[in-house]
Amino acid sequence: MQAKSLSGSWQLQQVGKPETYQATVPGSVHLDLMAAGCIPDPFVADNELRVLWVAEQDWQFSRTFEVSPAMLDEDRVYLVCDGLDTLGQVEINGTVVGRFENMFRQYRWDVKSLLKAGENEIRFTFDSPVRYAEAHEAQYSISMPQPWQILGGPYLRKAPCQFGWDWGPMLPPIGIWKDLRLEAYSRARIVDAHVRPLVVDGKGVADVTVKVDNWGGAPLEAVLTVTAPDGSTLEARAAVDGQSGKVVVEVENPQLWWPNGYGEQPLYGVSLKLLSGNETLDTRSYQVGFRTLELRREPDQWGESFTFVVNGTPIFAKGADWIPADSFPTRISDEYLEGLIRSSADAHMNMLRVWGGGFYEEERFYDLCDRYGILIWQDFTFACNKYPTDEAFFENVRLEAIDNVRRLRHRASLALWCGNNEMEQGWVDWGWNNPNDPMNQQLKIAYDRMYHHLLPRVVETEDPDHAYWPSSASSGIPFSEPNSENRGDCHYWDVWHGRKPFTAYRETYPRFQSEFGFQSLPTLETIKTFAEEKDWNMTSYIMEHHQRNMKGNGLIIAQMTDTFRMPKDFPMLVYLSMVLQAEGIRYGVEHWRRNKHRVSGTLYWQLNDCWPVASWSSIDYYGRWKALHYMARRFYAPVLLSVEDDEKNAKMNVWVTSDVVAPWSGEIKWKLVTLGGETLESGAESVSLAPQASQMIFSRSFTLTPDQRRSVVFICELEQDGKLISRSVNPFIANKHLDLASPNLKVGVAQEGGQAVYTVTGESLARFVELSLTGADVIFSDNYFDVPAGVTVQVTSPIPAGWTIEQVRAALKVTSLYDSF
């Protein structure tokens, strides 16, 4: 087997225009035009609107390449394209090789007859996805119009959000977005290898079925090598009979793979060789983990459970929804991607949902999730829309589903296949269904066929080891209460879209909360990349351009006034919007974790951004942690202290919730204290929890005067072996009405190795203390924390590369709630 990558330097040309540009493959037209200085950065100001024309044109990518006589000596030479975005045709030496129409599929053509030894030419012509989508929409008008979207996306198998979303710009990329290469084989090649890392009676079993194309007809052998984390190897071989063979390696006492927080992530290498005698004809290699995984759905007193169970241990899923990490995905660096996955694991997450409006992620994404112990809920890429009903569309999707299920099914991180995002809800709850319209009925029948028949059948056939779920949200019963609290997963949007207060979260008891969220602005440093200071106003043209949920900025302000005083300036508005978001999501997650006997997971909407924008994300486009991400690290901690406050009755219920699989014991210390630090009452309770239990430890109503409500707080601390592990500060009134005084915060900064240690104290309660270093992006060990009067709080950060501790001191900025008004 020989391979030759065709990635690298290409030439780009707009169809019908003479100018040529240098192009980078993998890449896209927008990125090449930006690099050539021909279009402005679409993420700055409202430049997006100035570059809409790019995706309305047709584009050609071409290059020459050498083919060696040795390659042409092989029986077959394929052109293999891992990702073509999206629509067009490819020619070699002037002859059309084939057409493509799906960015999620791998395309493979036998091109030997078109190649010659020496120089060859290859040319891709990409048709405008926008013109295609709009023309089809004009003809069939099936899609659901949204103000933030180019219409007609569903006609194309292209990431739906690239046509615009309620957090994303309308910038559909065009181009060769993954590697492409020539692959040459003689006699036979591997067509498919189904690698199943199983655990059977405590033994690891690497069970591999290989399918081959054996046009040479010679006897073939498959050799399977399993490499343990310590480098030791086990090998087995088996004859390939006809077009398929099965080879199995058993691993005694395998090290089990666990989700983050439940154990280690030992990974085994699996490599497969196809031999003819001593000659290797083809190879494949994989990274696997041995684990069992089940989606447990059992009838119970509330309906039906929805719990992921790994190696027999029920997991409380803690995480977020994942969207594409860039509108132009080919420029996502390995460091950036790892930063996002590491940040998820750092916040004690164990699950991300790859949401159906994006794309099936690249190998490197799942490699990281395997390594960091992040389970993946994988949607098929359909979201919030009605899709075509014709046979060609169904066949295109069937091939796409087979490609991607085969590509990902061996992954330790893969937890679930899910049909689509929110489309069952559309049919049942959002008025999509019009029984009097025959076209509409056809669309609904097509929905049923796709998500209740075609896709589950592909999963059943290609990946019997993972469950299929028809839609998120769904009850699991077709067209029956998809957003039911009693069974299946839920999306809860009454807080945010429905403008309910955060307290409304406590009225819900979903079996699995796979979406809920609240927006904030991105960090000020990020806002500076798209808005000049003159535009620093919530309702300025530019700030509203970087807000795609039409009512979004108003919703932020409205909810802010429930909780906080009006911010005194724009930087404080940014700060408060982040704190508000963090507080809201905390409120929900704490409630659902307290009720873990009933609720089995929370995935907040959304982890990340694809451009700089006001959104529901906890990490902004530049990888900066918003307050929510720091808060997530606290509310997703393995042992959670939370206070169920009842403002009206001045009642505080103190809970401890444990995800630890062993018994847990510790101590609660509480006090009623003035903002100035005077203790009015205090007490302590011991905590002793069964494995994975949640329990109310202490409950108390206080009698407070109206003045006291504004000037005292309830502070609770959780200790283990005398060491503080968590603190919770709870007012008896909305934060805006607290009688806060200037805390006069003092921060000592010392150096310990490569770390800066910040020691924070104040004279009066400081809420949501934010530390930042002007001129550097660092992640602090904690941030947006409370500092009660007279209490010392210590946090650390890495010292930025090349900085002295004096520079850290000079750059340190400290903000607390008191500074916001």
Name the residues that contact ligand BMA, by CB under 6 A. 165-167, 357, 383-384, 421-422, 515, 605
Q: Please, what is the minimum distance in Å from the beta carbon of residue 386 to ligand BMA?
A: 15
* Closest CB to ligand BMA among residues 384, 652: 384
**CA atoms 630, 631, 634, 637: torsion sign:** negative
Q: Please, what is the minimum distance in Å from the beta carbon of residue 31 to ligand BMA?
A: 24
Q: Please, what is the minimum distance in Å from the beta carbon of residue 275 to ligand BMA?
A: 48
Q: Please, what is the minimum distance in Å from the beta carbon of residue 21 to ligand BMA?
A: 34
Q: Please, what is the minimum distance in Å from the beta carbon of residue 306 to ligand BMA?
A: 18
Rounded to whole angstroms, the maximal C-alpha distance in the chain is 92
**CA atoms 399, 157, 384, 410: torsion sign:** positive
Q: Please, what is the minimum distance in Å from the beta carbon of residue 42 to ligand BMA?
A: 20
* Closest CB to ligand BMA among residues 245, 358: 358
* Closest CB to ligand BMA among residues 345, 383: 383
Q: Please, what is the minimum distance in Å from the beta carbon of residue 408 to ligand BMA?
A: 21
Angle at 100 between CA 95 and CA 105, to 5 degrees: 135
* Closest CB to ligand BMA among residues 367, 422: 422
Q: How far apart are CA 359 and CA 103, in angstroms?
A: 9
The count of C-alpha atoms lying within 13 angstroms of the C-alpha of 715, restricted to the half-sphere facing its C-beta, is 26
The pairing of strands 8-14 and 679-689 is: unpaired
> CA Rg, the chain, in Å?
28
* Closest CB to ligand BMA among residues 164, 388: 164
* Closest CB to ligand BMA among residues 425, 772: 425
- What are the DSSP calls for 391-445, one per residue? HHHHHHHHHHHHHHHHHHTT-TTEEEEE--BSHHHHHHHSS---TT-HHHHHHHH
Query: Is residue 180 helix, strand or coil?
Result: strand
Q: Please, what is the minimum distance in Å from the beta carbon of residue 160 to ligand BMA?
A: 9
Q: Please, what is the minimum distance in Å from the beta carbon of residue 507 to ligand BMA?
A: 20
Q: Please, what is the minimum distance in Å from the beta carbon of residue 324 to ligand BMA?
A: 12
Contacts of 320 by beta carbon, 8 Å cutoff, 6+ apart: 344, 349, 352, 353, 603, 604, 605, 606, 607, 618, 632
Q: Which residue from 661, 60, 711 is spatially nearest to 313, judged by alpha carbons?
A: 661
Contact assessment for residue 296 and residue 308, using Cβ atoms and an 8 Å cutoff: yes
* Closest CB to ligand BMA among residues 153, 357: 357
* Closest CB to ligand BMA among residues 165, 505: 165
- What are the DSSP calls for 655-712, one per residue? EEEE--SS-EEEEEEEEEEETTS-EEEEEEEEEEE-TT-EEEEEEEE----HHHHHHE
Q: How far apart are CA 421 and CA 195, in angstroms?
A: 28
* Closest CB to ligand BMA among residues 59, 167: 167
Q: Please, what is the minimum distance in Å from the beta carbon of residue 605 to ligand BMA?
A: 5
Q: Please, what is the minimum distance in Å from the beta carbon of residue 548 to ligand BMA?
A: 9
- What are the DSSP calls for 74-109, one per residue? SSEEEEEES-EESSEEEEETTEEEEEE-BTTS-EEE
* Closest CB to ligand BMA among residues 356, 666: 356
Neighbours of 445 (CB within 10 A): 11
Contact assessment for residue 386 and residue 434, using Cβ atoms and an 8 Å cutoff: no
Q: Please, what is the minimum distance in Å from the beta carbon of residue 472 to ligand BMA?
A: 8
Can you say how many angstroms the Cα of residue 504 is from the centroid of all Cα atoms in its chain?
25
Q: What stretches of 692-765 adopt beta strand conformation (E)?
A: 694-701, 712-720, 723-731, 746-752, 755-761
The count of C-alpha atoms lying within 13 angstroms of the C-alpha of 240, restricted to the half-sphere facing its C-beta, is 31
Q: Please, what is the minimum distance in Å from the beta carbon of residue 655 to ligand BMA?
A: 29
Query: Is residue 134 helix, strand or coil?
Result: helix
Sequence letter at residue 633:
R
Q: What stretches of 452-531 adopt beta strand conformation (E)?
A: 467-469, 490-491, 513-515
* Closest CB to ligand BMA among residues 400, 515: 515
Q: Please, what is the minimum distance in Å from the beta carbon of residue 482 to ligand BMA?
A: 13
* Closest CB to ligand BMA among residues 496, 655: 496
> Which residue carries 């343990």 as its tokens?
228
- What are the DSSP calls for 59-72, one per residue? EEEEEEEEE-HHHH
Quickly list H helices, 409-547: 423-429, 438-449, 455-462, 524-527, 541-545
* Closest CB to ligand BMA among residues 410, 545: 545
Q: How far apart are CA 773 and CA 756, in angstroms?
A: 11
* Closest CB to ligand BMA among residues 257, 427: 427
Residues in the chain: 821
Q: Please, what is the minimum distance in Å from the beta carbon of residue 425 to ligand BMA?
A: 9
Contact assessment for residue 761 and residue 788, using Cβ atoms and an 8 Å cutoff: no
Locate 454 and state its tokens. 């075609």
Q: Please, what is the minimum distance in Å from the beta carbon of residue 493 to ligand BMA?
A: 6
* Closest CB to ligand BMA among residues 422, 590: 422
Instruction: Spell out the long-range contacts of 364-369 with Cβ–Cβ below 8 A and sequence spacing 24 or more.
Output: 364/334, 364/337, 365/337, 365/341, 366/408, 366/411, 366/413, 366/414, 367/287, 368/337, 368/338, 368/341, 368/342, 369/341, 369/411, 369/413
Neighbours of 28 (CB within 10 A): 30
Q: How far apart are CA 350 and CA 315, in angstroms?
A: 9
